[in-house]
Amino acid sequence: MKIRIGTRGSKLALWQAHYISDLLKKGGVVTEVITIETTGDKILDVSIAKIGSKGVFTEEIEAQLALGTIDIAVHSAKDLQSVLPDAFELIAFTKREGANDIILSHKKNISLNDNLVLGTSSTRRIAFLKHLYPHIKTVPVRGNLQTRIRKMEEGACDALMLAYAGAHRMGFDNMIIQKLSTDEFIPAVGQGSVAIECSTSLDIDKKNKVRALTNNIEAETCLLAERAYLRELEGGCSIPVFALATLENEKVSLTGGIISLNGKEVIKHTTTSTTAAPAMSGHNLAEIVLKNGGDKILKEIKEQIK
């Protein structure tokens, strides 16, 4: 059996694709990695939130899935839109790396208590910084991780605010100044996991083989809960929603919510469900968040980003 793997062309995306490739090879599968440029890779001078496409990192790859030129697509789970087009499905989630946000810098003696300029284009991270550390300024810094680090070192900012998983996978642990608590900076849905997407028409034997060799059931359970919440709120790259699920004693505990763009209003709650029905915690969380003011925040955000 041969599996053709589609991916973006950044070093991190290729790391993820080859990670999946190695897992498949251990199971006797022949693989080929095929790189595809996406809208998010082409447009680097504006924030993702302003590009306006829900599938900014996935549309071109999904086109190749539909054509059958690739069998599966490998994504950072946090980059996936809340609802996939009808012809596609997610069949696996890898074991989760640390889901934390981090502060990364070439300057060693800095902290969030300083008057820093942080590079980030994430509406969620910007909103949380305004809420928790209002003295900090932010500037948009886009591009792959290596490009962002170069821009930082050239003076665009003092530090970058990023996902731990990407920095760790690229070997930049020595530049991590602080790993931020997920109690304060609750991450984006799916942060830290790699997701595998395919066409619903993909050969069932290939689907089953990929799933058997790559899926981590604990990560999948957590992400099904988180993505159910994201789906209810119709969250995309421009909407600062957040959620993180954990497992304990056959229960899924899901903490998440929404934060206004100016950081002044935060709606946050926790729900639980059984591991047999993880999506229930996501549905329940969405209902609680929306009823407790999240609907108002969501409406205001959508009006502001039109």
pLDDT at position 52, please? Answer: 47
Q: CA-to-CA distance for 145 and 167, rounded, in angstroms?
A: 8
Q: Is the confidence at residue 50, as pLDDT, over 50?
A: no
Judgement on whether residues 77 and 129 belong to the same structural domain of the protein: no
Q: Is residue 277 in some structural domain?
A: yes
Q: Is residue 128 in some structural domain?
A: yes
What's the CATH code of the domain at 122? 3.40.190.10
pLDDT at position 79, please? Answer: 87
Q: Is the confidence at residue 281, as pLDDT, over 50?
A: yes
Judgement on whether residues 8 and 87 belong to the same structural domain of the protein: yes
Is 130 in a helix, a strand, or coil? helix
Sign of CA dihedral 95, 69, 22, 167: negative
Judgement on whether residues 68 and 199 belong to the same structural domain of the protein: yes
175 touches 104 (CB < 8 A): yes
Is 286 in a helix, a strand, or coil? helix
CB < 8 Å & 24+ apart, contacts of 227-230: 227/80, 227/82, 227/189, 227/190, 227/282, 228/278, 228/279, 228/280, 228/281, 228/282, 228/283, 228/286, 229/189, 229/254, 229/256, 229/281, 229/282, 229/283, 229/285, 229/286, 230/82, 230/189, 230/282
Judgement on whether residues 89 and 126 belong to the same structural domain of the protein: no
Residues of the domain holding 43: 2-95+194-215
Judgement on whether residues 136 and 246 belong to the same structural domain of the protein: no
Q: Is residue 171 in some structural domain?
A: yes
Number of domains in the chain: 3
Q: Is residue 119 in some structural domain?
A: yes
Q: CA-to-CA distance for 174 and 167, rounded, in angstroms?
A: 10
Confidence of residue 4 (pLDDT cuts 50, 70, 90): very high
Q: Is residue 110 in some structural domain?
A: yes
Judgement on whether residues 76 and 13 belong to the same structural domain of the protein: yes
Judgement on whether residues 201 and 74 belong to the same structural domain of the protein: yes
Judgement on whether residues 87 and 159 belong to the same structural domain of the protein: no
Q: Is residue 293 in some structural domain?
A: yes
Phi first, then psi: give them for residue 90, nearest 5 degrees: -95, 130
Judgement on whether residues 28 and 150 belong to the same structural domain of the protein: no
Residue positions annotated with a catalytic role: 79
Q: CA-to-CA distance for 150 and 214, rounded, in angstroms?
A: 33
100 touches 187 (CB < 8 A): yes
Q: 249: which residues sit within 8 A by CB, 6+ positions away? A: none
Distance of CA 97 to the CA centre of its chain: 12
Cα three-residue angle 22-24-30, rounded to 5 degrees? 95
Distance of CA 171 to the CA centre of its chain: 19
Q: Average pLDDT for residues 171-198, to the nearest whole number?
A: 97
Phi first, then psi: give them for residue 193, nearest 5 degrees: -110, 155
Judgement on whether residues 144 and 107 belong to the same structural domain of the protein: yes
pLDDT at position 55, please? Answer: 55
Judgement on whether residues 13 and 87 belong to the same structural domain of the protein: yes
Q: CA-to-CA distance for 191 and 101, rounded, in angstroms?
A: 9
Q: CA-to-CA distance for 299 and 295, rounded, in angstroms?
A: 6
Q: pLDDT digits over 105-162, tens only?
A: 999 999 999 999 999 989 999 999 999 999 999 999 988 899 999 999 999 999 999 9
230 touches 189 (CB < 8 A): yes
Please state the pTM of the whole predicted model. Answer: 0.90
pLDDT at position 304, please? Answer: 86
Q: 99: which residues sit within 8 A by CB, 6+ positions away? A: 163, 164, 165, 182, 187, 191, 192, 244
Judgement on whether residues 81 and 146 belong to the same structural domain of the protein: no
Q: Is residue 55 in some structural domain?
A: yes
Q: Is residue 133 in some structural domain?
A: yes
pLDDT at position 59, please? Answer: 84
What's the CATH code of the domain at 274? 3.30.160.40
44 or 7, which is more confident: 7
User: How far apart, in Å, are the Cα atoms of 51 and each of 35, 43, 305?
Assistant: 22, 8, 11
Q: CA-to-CA distance for 222 and 224, rounded, in angstroms?
A: 6
Is 252 in a helix, a strand, or coil? strand
